[in-house]
Each structure stands twice: as C-alpha cells, then as structure tokens.
Chains A and B, each alone.
Chain A
Amino acid sequence: MLTRDYNSSLVIDSLCDQTYGHNIAVLSLYCDYQAQKDQSAVNMIGGLLRQVALGPAGIVGGIQNAFDRSRQGGGKSLRLQEMLELFVKIIGSLERVYICIDAMDELVPQHRSEFLRALRQITQEAPNTRLFLTGRPHIRAELDNHLTKGAYTIHIVPDQGDIARYLTRKMDDDDARDPDLMTENLKNDIMETMLEKASDM
C-alpha cells in the first residue's frame, strides 16, 4: 500500500528519532492477511514480548525464568494471560512504551477481538503505554467499541504530492529497464490520469 504501511513505518522511525537516548521502547507489529493463521492474539502479544525480551543485561529475568520453567515442564507455551502479566511487568521499568500496530483490519475478526481485549488490558495496567493503530474505515466501529473510543484519530488520505513522488519513482524504475519504452508524453499522461483518479477517491 502506498500510504498506510508507509505511514506506520514512518511513525515508528519518527518515534525512534524522538526518543533516542531515553528509557523508551518503540515496539511494532504489522498485521498481514497472508499470515492470518499465525496472527492469533497470543502470538501477537508474544511478538511484543519478543521485542522486550532482550534488555540491557541480556534476556530479561522474568522471561528467562518462564522459559526455564516451561522447559522443565515439557516446553509448553505461555498462555495469553501469562504473557500479558510478563509484558506489563517488564515494561513497568520503562519511562514509556510506544506500541505501533499496522493494519488491524487484516486480522481474522475472532483473533482481532481477543487481541483488542489484550491491548486494552495492557493500556489499563501500564499507564506508560501509547498505542498507535492503523486500519481501514470499516473496522473503525469495532475498534472504537473495544479500545479506541475517544482516541486521537487521523484520516489517511492519498496525498497528491505522495502519489506524484511514488509514480515518478515507479516510472523511473521502468525507464531503467528500457529507456525507450516510455516517452515523456506518456509519463505526463499517466501522472495526470492517476492524480485525477486519486482526487476523485
């Protein structure tokens, strides 16, 4: 997608910039309909936990202990609630934690509601968390219902400048393959048509 996952990755990098040198973590998850079966709530929260598993002194104690206990007990995975407790405990020592989740609409609805409940639990139990979510408009009511009622919102619309930059790059790439294939006139036509279409959306 031109705009949305770019926006997520941009926000993540921008947060990294702004928090440099502070006791702050920036965590990210990208949902993807092609990987839906792996994106259960427990794996998603596990994905967050992975990102805080390695602290300044190696594997964080709580995770190491849980892992050791699991190994003794036959290698069972943590349950969602155990993960949530661990996660909240670990991030408690940080000044702030940004959790950025892209494309909530690409989760299976059943997984999504469980995951939203888990996120709500995290935000309730860890006041130092900030959540950044992206999704298509059709799931907005569902998100509001579970989690985002009254949240700050930004409507992502295709920006003409963004589209022009993207198109230019794509056409330049084509040029690189065969310089004679695309004339300047054709390029201008494509640009004009695309921007016109985009402005109708």
Chain B
Amino acid sequence: MVGWNCNRKQSHCPNPGEDSALFFPGGGGEAPQPPRYTPILPIACCRIIPLITNMTTLPSGNGGPSLTHDPCQYGISNTRTNNNTSNSIHGNSNQNIGNVSNSYNNTITVGISEEASGIRRWLSPLEPHARHQDVRNRRLDGVGNWVLGEDEFESWRKSQDGSANRTLLCYGDQGAGKTYIR
C-alpha cells in the first residue's frame, strides 16, 4: 500500500482530495445505505488505484467495510453482469481522476461529483485537508507526542459540553524548526 497509511483505521485517513470532516459520523458502520450505491471499499483511505489493483475480488452487497464518508459522495457502484463484477467509483478527489482496469475486468472510474465539488468551492476556496495531509506526511513518528500526555490536553479533551472552558491554546515560538534547522 502506498501513500497515506492506508492500513490505519479509516477515520485517520482523510482523502487528500477530500474535504469531509477528518472524522465524520457514520464510521461505525451505521451509516444508512444510500439508495443507488453499495459501498465496496474503504476508500476513505484514498489512493484508490493501488488499493484496487491489488485486490483479487471486490466484495459486493452490504458486506463491504463501513465508510467514514458517505458512499454517495464518491458515487460508488457495484453491478454484477453474468460472470463479471463491474465496479465503478466516482471519487471526489481533485487529483485522482481516471480509469483503471484490473485483471478481473473491474473498471474503476475515479471522477468527481461536479455538484458536490461546486458546492465546496462555493463555500470556500480553502482546502484544509490538503495542508493537513502535507503536514502529517512530513511528521516524524514520536515528534511532539509529549503534548498528548499533558494533563491540560486530557482535561480539555474530556471537558463537558457547555462548560465555561472548552478551549485549548498551544502557544510557542517558531522554536527549533525553521530558524535553526532548515
């Protein structure tokens, strides 16, 4: 598997071209099945093409992995014709657009839902997911982990709804980053 740690749980793997919440509800397998599509792949993890070409068969029916993202937004379909299963995925990535066929005649179409994409652009030109992917790809294992062990972090994370203090501020200088190391 290449790219974004696709073996991790799906909720950590925001699609680089995707814009949904990094974790959006529905990931527990409780997402209602959309009327027209059947989820077949954990494509929230993106890097769809290598994922698919490595597969020998694609699961069909409702037995596919639960998705943290709405299958509708990717336009996934799975149709069985005679002995072949044809799978198509219309991803909403800005980067992964194309067709891939594997040895089992599964044609994968990775496109973009025009309207969903238009709505996102209409809301804002910012693409926070891309920056997050960039930073997390550069991040070294272990760096900064100490923050997660701080009492303040834990208190904030567990703060009650509506409590006066539900904000955590981390402040610091540029530190040893750009100034000294680059």
Contact = CB atoms under 8 A, between A and B. Distances in A.
Check if A and B associate. Answer: yes
A74 interface: no
B88 interface: no
Interface string A171-201: 0000000000000000000000010011001
B166 A131 contact: yes
B169 interface: yes
A194 to B, nearest CB: 6
A4 interface: yes
Contacts of B169: 133-135, 140, 143, 148, 151-154
Interface residue range, chain B: 35 or more
Interface in A10-41: 10-30, 32, 35, 38-39
B140 to A, nearest CB: 5
Contacts of A9: 132, 135-136, 139
Interface residue range, chain A: 35 or more
B28 A21 contact: yes
B180 A194 contact: yes
Contacts of B19: 50-51, 53-54
14 contacts: A2-B181, A3-B176, A10-B147, A30-B131, A38-B125, A47-B128, A59-B116, A59-B119, A147-B167, A152-B153, A152-B159, A155-B171, A159-B146, A201-B175
Given A43-B125, A154-B153, 18 more contacts: A6-B143, A10-B147, A11-B147, A21-B28, A47-B124, A54-B70, A55-B70, A56-B31, A70-B122, A96-B161, A127-B161, A134-B169, A137-B172, A155-B172, A158-B176, A161-B142, A166-B143, A166-B181
Interface of A: 1-30, 32, 35, 38-39, 42-47, 49-59, 63-64, 67, 70, 75, 77-78, 83, 94-96, 123, 127-137, 140, 143, 147-148, 150-159, 161-163, 165-167, 169-170, 194, 197-198, 201
